[in-house]
Amino acid sequence: MSGLGGLNKSSDGVVLGLVQLQLPTVVTPDDLAMQTQRICSLVAKARRNLPSMDLVVFPEYSLHGLSMDTNPSIMCRLEGAEVAAFKAACRDNQIWGCFSIMEHNPYGNPYNSGIIIDDQGEIKLYYRKLHPWVPVEPWEPGNLGIPVCEGPNGSTLALIICHDGMFPEMARECAYKGADIMIRTAGYTAPIRHAWNITNQANAFCNLIYTASVCMCGSDGTFDSMGEGTIVNFDGTPLVTGTGRPDEIITGEVRPKLVQEARRVWGVENNIYQFGHRGYVAVKGGAQDCPYTYMQDMVEGSYRLPWEDQVVHTDGTSCGFSEPTRSYETAPLVSKVQL
């Protein structure tokens, strides 16, 4: 059930709008300013489109396009004009919004960041993409973990970005921290369509979480993004699926209380609980050890694949980027900006 795309809102429902935004070309600060205003106009369109909508979601790269341009003159800051405009749009239209920015980093390459702003114009969640899509993307790996925030109508929101969703650990972390709705924004193109769909569904089912995911859409003359907005139920069943039509807003209702109920009362396939309580039928409380070698090795800083030495692509040179010389461990940790 999606309440007929959110037309029939339940008292405990959260109505989502996923914007399959037309892929832009942004080269100059003037281009950036124009695209900022275009996004703000679509916030207003979302509010007019569906008065019951609680949260409007814009895809990754909606502000900057897919050029991978790291030109400092078009990078954003949390205190900059672009974010200020997004705050005003949410406040003026009394709607929550999720936005994508490429964020200036004084210590290295920019971050690929996402923010969620409430209907009062306040930033409630700030996230930096943990897993840039290598070897294609030049962004600095995120250093803020995976935050969650209180969302509209009793929901708890998490945000991941594009390639993040190919790692099951990302969705598991969102659920582990209490999120009942996981947003995934992306700029993916058509070759990723099948993987996009199955991971959105698996992430939902394996963690008893709603997933709400949307890509850029249309062509910029070079790249073709696929749209494919989708809302998936916590049992892995797609509730709403979009098309390849640019600027279409995919809408649907989710009900966080049903997620919360399932996490409490399900026995079979309550995977988010059972993961940490293995075999509780046989042993009291289940086994709560960590039998996963890769997890232990990652904590120790010794993660290494059996075929590590045969991996071909280990930097971005195949996509035209210079070989990096700076180690992540020596990168200054940029403190979290006060929201």
**Any bridge partners for residue 128, and if so which?**
113
DSSP labels, 39-76: HHHHHHHHHHH-TT--EEE--TTTTTBSS----GGG-B
CA distance 124 to 150: 8
| Confidence band of 6 (pLDDT split at 50, 70, 90) | confident
Percentage, residues of the chain above pLDDT 70: 97
78 found inside a domain = yes
Whether the full predicted model's pTM is greater than 0.75, yes or no, is: yes
Q: Is the pLDDT of residue 331 over 90?
A: no
Q: What is the pLDDT of residue 148?
A: 98
174 catalytic residue (yes or no): no
What would the mean pLDDT of 39-50 be, rounded to a whole number? Answer: 96
Please report which confidence band the pLDDT of residue 288 belongs to, taking 50, 70 and 90 as the band edges. Answer: very high
Tens-place pLDDT, residues 51-109: 999 999 999 999 999 999 999 999 999 999 999 999 999 999 999 999 999 999 999 99
d(CA 300, CA 274): 25
Q: List phi, psi (to 5°) of 298.
A: -65, -40
φ/ψ (deg, to 5) at 145: 70, -155
Min mean pLDDT across 291-295, 304-308, 319-323, 332-336 is at 332-336
Does 130 map to a domain?
A: yes
CB under 8 Å to 329, separation ≥6 — which residues?
A: none
pLDDT digits (tens, 9 = 90+) for 215-227: 999 999 998 999 9
Output the pLDDT for position 5.
84
pLDDT of residue 181 exceeding 50: yes
Answer yes or no: is pLDDT of 236 > 70. Answer: yes
Q: Which of 40, 90, 149, 162 is catalytic?
A: 162
Residue 102 is assigned to a structural domain of this protein? yes
| Mean pLDDT score of the chain | 95
- Per-residue pLDDT band for 243 (boundaries 50, 70, 90) equals confident
Question: Is 82 noted as a catalytic residue in this protein?
Answer: no
Residue 188 within any structural domain of the chain:
yes
Q: What is the pLDDT of residue 244?
A: 86
Q: Which two tokens stand for residue 34?
A: 């124009």
Of 158, 171, 101, whose CA–CA distance to 124 is shortest?
Answer: 158
For residues 76 and 114, is the Cβ–Cβ distance under 8 A? no
Where is average pLDDT lowest: 3-7, 52-56, 317-321? 3-7
Question: In the prediction, which pLDDT does 197 show?
Answer: 97
Which amino acid appears at position 326 of this protein?
Answer: R
Q: Residue 274: inside a domain, yes or no? A: yes
We report the CATH number of the domain holding residue 152 as 3.60.110.10
Q: Is the pLDDT of residue 279 over 90?
A: yes
Sign of CA dihedral 26, 199, 159, 3: positive
SS3 170: helix
Residue 338, domain member (yes or no): no
Identify the three-state secondary structure at position 184.
strand
Question: How many domains in the chain?
Answer: 1
- Catalytic pick among 9, 40, 60, 82: 60
Domain span at residue 129 reads 3-330
Q: 155 pLDDT exceeds 90?
A: yes
pLDDT > 50? residue 170: yes
**Residue 17's pLDDT is what?**
98
The answer as to whether 63 is a domain residue is: yes
User: pLDDT of 186-200, one tens digit each?
Assistant: 999 888 999 999 999
Terminal Cα-to-Cα distance of the chain (whole angstroms): 35
Given 129, 137, 173, 253, the catalytic residue: 129
pLDDT bucket at 338, cuts 50 / 70 / 90: very low
For the chain, where are the alpha helices, taking DSSP H only? 3-6, 29-49, 81-93, 168-176, 193-207, 256-265, 271-274, 293-300
Distance CA 175, CA 152 (A): 17
In single-letter form, the type of residue at position 300 comes to E
Within-domain flag for 339: no
> Average pLDDT of 4-23?
94
60 catalytic? Reply is yes
pLDDT at 335: 46
